[in-house]
A = this chain, B = another copy of it.
């Protein structure tokens, strides 16, 4: 964050960006965490990640929603081939239905996420079961971060990721539904650009970009529930939450 006196082109040179505004000169490394295997209810996610990854301080650990939901026992039974039962389950997980087309519902969850089918996932769980979103994915991320620190002594960031569609663009991408110890949105508002002018669109959702980068090594079908993103700007490692920083209040939103 920069102070109000650092926003004018005269007050700052092109190098005078705030602590969150400095891109890392070095690169990033994104590593899949392989070998974890099937995750059951009550699984010790922190222990599993710590056992299967060589972590370093400042790493961001990205864990999929499905891994978290399985460990937290957020698995429910549902008649797989009964569209009405699936719809009831989705509606139960929603506070509002935005759009409906055939079996696809776009709804708002109680967390404030707008996504397909309230985030209820019928794939990669046993037949006749579905995975619900974690009750509080930011809390899930904090617990995992605390567990990893207890085991490794390292300060890490944690992102819980999920796969969402988007309007206007085909294909799904991974986004952050929970985070801890890593900024969700990095505020470059008022930071001078390379020409000394004030930037316009300047709040970057780095947590979503980290989730997207992780997805590139996790794949959809490979059974890799976690990845490490190494080399993020150390200035981004701070207290945060998806609920506070990413979820857009309805009053701010032009499409709800």
Contacts and interface: CB of A to CB of B under 8 A. Distances in A.
Contacts of A29: 27-30
Interface string A71-101: 0000000000000000000000000001101
Stoichiometry, as copies per complex, reads 2
B106 A204 contact: no
A217 B28 contact: yes
A213 interface: yes
Contacts of A17: 221-222
A14 interface: yes
Interface in A190-246: 191-195, 197-206, 208-210, 212-213, 215-224, 229, 231-232, 245-246
A125 interface: yes
Contacts of A51: none
Nearest to A80: B197
Nearest to A250: B168
A117 to B, nearest CB: 9
Given A167-B255, A172-B201, A208-B169, A213 B28 contact: yes
Interface string A100-121: 0100001000000110100001
A55 to B, nearest CB: 14
Contacts of A206: 171, 216
A34 B25 contact: yes
Nearest to A167: B255
Contacts of A202: 172, 220
A195 B255 contact: no
A17 to B, nearest CB: 5
A217 B30 CA distance: 12
Which has the most chain B C-beta neighbours within 10 Å: A197, A212, A252? A212
9 contacts: A23-B32, A28-B217, A114-B168, A123-B198, A167-B248, A167-B253, A168-B255, A173-B204, A206-B216
